[in-house]
Amino acid sequence: MRLRRLVVAVHRDVGYFFAGLTVLYAISGVAVNHMADWNPSYRLEKSQHQVGVVPEGTAAEQGREVARRLGIDAEPMSSVRVGPGLLKVFFEDRTLTVSLPTGEVEDERRARRFFLYEVNFLHLNKGKGWWTWFADAYAVGLALLAVTGLFILPGRKGLSGRGKWLVGAGLLAPLLYLVFFR
Amino acid sequence: MRRVLGLMVLTAITAMPALAGEVKKYGAGVTLNEGVSVAELLAAPEKFVGKKVRVDGVVTAVCAKRGCWMMITDPEREQGIRIKVEDGVIVFPMEAMGRKASAEGIFEVVNPAGEKHDQAQHATQAGGEHASGASCAEQEKAAKKASATYQIAGTGAIVY
């Protein structure tokens, strides 16, 4: 009886502590699970322009000229020739790829996806540092939640009753996948 | 009051740009004091394959999805090289594009298979030389070099 009370208390308190992070990771998990179909952290928009032949000059001069012709007020962060006749002009949230001989410009604008960028940043541990340890603790917390959850309820509705079937079914899906698709 | 404070914290977190005005270190950073130019690496790759090198330049491309590679271009020579890292171990943000960077790692061949040199197709002169004057071995070496691609298996970088 005392053991069950401890199990319930651990499950409750660990559950409360990690409830928020679990929801955040769940949202991020769905987002990054479909990384093949979309960019879960950035919104990228491409468009094409024609600015005419760009006169010769330094990369910086040419970059500024292209920006002026496109009506971009911001000063380029940098302009770099990346190959024969190919210039890239960089802004904080925008990259122009310019074909100098033809004047064709590929304009790529990027923006972080609101909220998704931040949750993915956490979920994928992009920042490293102490978050790695906190994420490890979260993993331990999840394991505690799973194990304590098995023993909360006694009897028919507990592990010895319907619980064992549901636990078995839950393990069956990943096992079958590994058998047939690995 | 609590609502205002909470909103301020949330705004600060979401509005914080990743790289504005700071040197950002990725992985082990850079430890070599001197870099080698991309042009030098690509001109004589056999000298550097398997060795730890450092390159400096501007970040001209970044993997949009996983941040698992970035292209560093030498703005003087218009040549770039890819810095490839293990997925998830180092993540380069897209905000690095256009910024100066130094990266370090092992210079490696990505596609070592070059064009197959079919000796039967070439008219040879005495000593195995082709009409162009180059020997079969030299032709094969040039063909391999032309189609081989190189990258740096990155161990660290700084973006500034």
What is the tally of structural domains in chain B? 1
What is the tally of structural domains in chain A? 2
Q: Is A54 buried (19+), middle (13-18) or exposed (0-12) by CB count in 10 A?
A: buried
In a domain, B123, yes or no: yes
Q: Where are the beta strands (DSSP E) in A31-125?
A: 42-50, 78-83, 86-91, 94-99, 104-112
Residues A68, A107 within the same domain = yes
Report d(CA A143, CA B38) in Å as an integer.
48
In a domain, B39, yes or no: yes
Kindly report, residue by residue over B37-91, the tens digit of the pLDDT: 999 999 999 999 999 999 999 999 999 888 999 999 999 999 999 999 998 889 9
Q: Are strands B150-159 and B79-84 parallel, antiparallel or unpaired?
A: parallel
Residues A124, A107 within the same domain = no
Of the candidates B66, B78, B98, which has its C-beta nearest A81's C-beta?
A: B78
Kindly report, residue by residue over A104-124, the tens digit of the pLDDT: 999 999 999 999 999 999 999
- Helix (H), strand (E), coil (C) string for A11-23: HHHHHHHHHHHHH
Chain B neighbors of A82, CB-CB under 8 A: 60, 73, 78, 80
Report d(CA B103, CA B100) in Å as an integer.
10
- Kindly determine whether residue B14 and residue A42, on different chains, have CB atoms separated by under 8 Å: no
Helix (H) or strand (E) holding B71: strand B69-74
Across the strands, what pairs with A96? A89, A107
Number of residues assigned to chain A:
182
Average model confidence (pLDDT) across chain B:
78
Calculate ∠ Cα A106-A107-A112, nearest 5°.
140
Rg (CA), chain B: 22
In a domain, A169, yes or no: no
**pLDDT mean values, one per 10 residues, chain A (182 residues):** 90 97 97 91 96 94 97 96 95 96 96 95 90 96 96 92 95 96 90
* Diameter over CA atoms, chain A: 84
Q: Of B16, B38, B62, B65, which to mutate for an interface test with A (greatest number of A Cβ within 10 Å)? A: B65
Q: A86, A112, A138: which is the final residue of a domain? A: A112
